[in-house]
Amino acid sequence: MKLIVGLGNPGLIYSASRHNIGFRVIKTLTGALKIPLKRERLVYALVGKGSYGGQTIVFALPQTFMNLSGQAVKALVKKFKVEPEDLLVVCDDLDLDLGRIKIRPHGSSGGQRGLNSIIEVLGRSDFNRLRVGIGRPPRSLDAADYVLASFAKKEKAIVEDVNTLAGDCILSWAEKGIVKTMELFNVSLPSGREEGK
């Protein structure tokens, strides 16, 4: 069994924000796979279950707000008895350009509050993460305001494309594993970026 968790903030006010691209990726993919997401109170998340490539896959969107994502992930891991190597967390990344993705089997939070919460609550960082780039904010805008703002109109087409790309990456991970998926989907980071994040 594979557990795939998209990170974001619940509520309509945040639904179109850059910070919610993890939610958006999961909603796009489960929509394509015709897997409904339903509220499961005891795990503080919207949950949907399906199969792909002979694997049972659980998709989840925590409803705890980003900085408390660890509470939901811990409950999900316990409920579905998932090992770290079978957990994939999908989140936004300020250090990747919009339209870029990066999948890794472990690493630090890189300052991403949802990942930080998960690492703190689980007490480990050896779980897979798929980072979806949202780019850096302009100098005139604070990072906290930037991630909670909506994408610009000119960015919408790129966001749709990267949603599809990230969905393909997730399915590759579920079917082919992390090593093959890294080979297929990872591209070199811009110079000066930390690749292990």
127-151, pLDDT tens digit by residue? Answer: 999 999 999 888 888 888 999 999 9
140 burial (CB, 10 Å; 0-12 / 13-18 / 19+) is: exposed
Cα–Cα dist 63/182, whole Å: 29
Assigned domain for 113 exists: yes
Fill in the amino acid letter for 59.
F
Assigned domain for 91 exists: yes
| pLDDT, greater one: 177 or 189 | 177
Largest CA distance in the chain: 49
Assigned domain for 192 exists: no
Mean pLDDT over 101-125 rounds to 95
Q: How many percent of the chain have pLDDT more than 90?
A: 86
Tell me the pLDDT band of 106, cut-offs 50, 70 and 90: very high
Q: Where in the sequence numbering do the catalytic residues fall?
A: 19
Assigned domain for 38 exists: yes
Task: Write the pLDDT tens digit of every residue in 46-90.
Answer: 999 999 988 899 999 999 999 999 999 999 999 999 999 999 999
* CATH code of the domain containing 153: 3.40.50.1470
Q: What pLDDT shows up at residue 187?
A: 67
Q: How many domains does the chain have?
A: 1
Assigned domain for 145 exists: yes
Q: What pLDDT shows up at residue 41?
A: 80
- Domain residues for the domain of 49 are 2-185
Cα–Cα dist 96/35, whole Å: 29
pLDDT over 90 at 103, yes or no: yes
pLDDT over 80 at 5, yes or no: yes
Assigned domain for 197 exists: no
pLDDT over 90 at 179, yes or no: yes
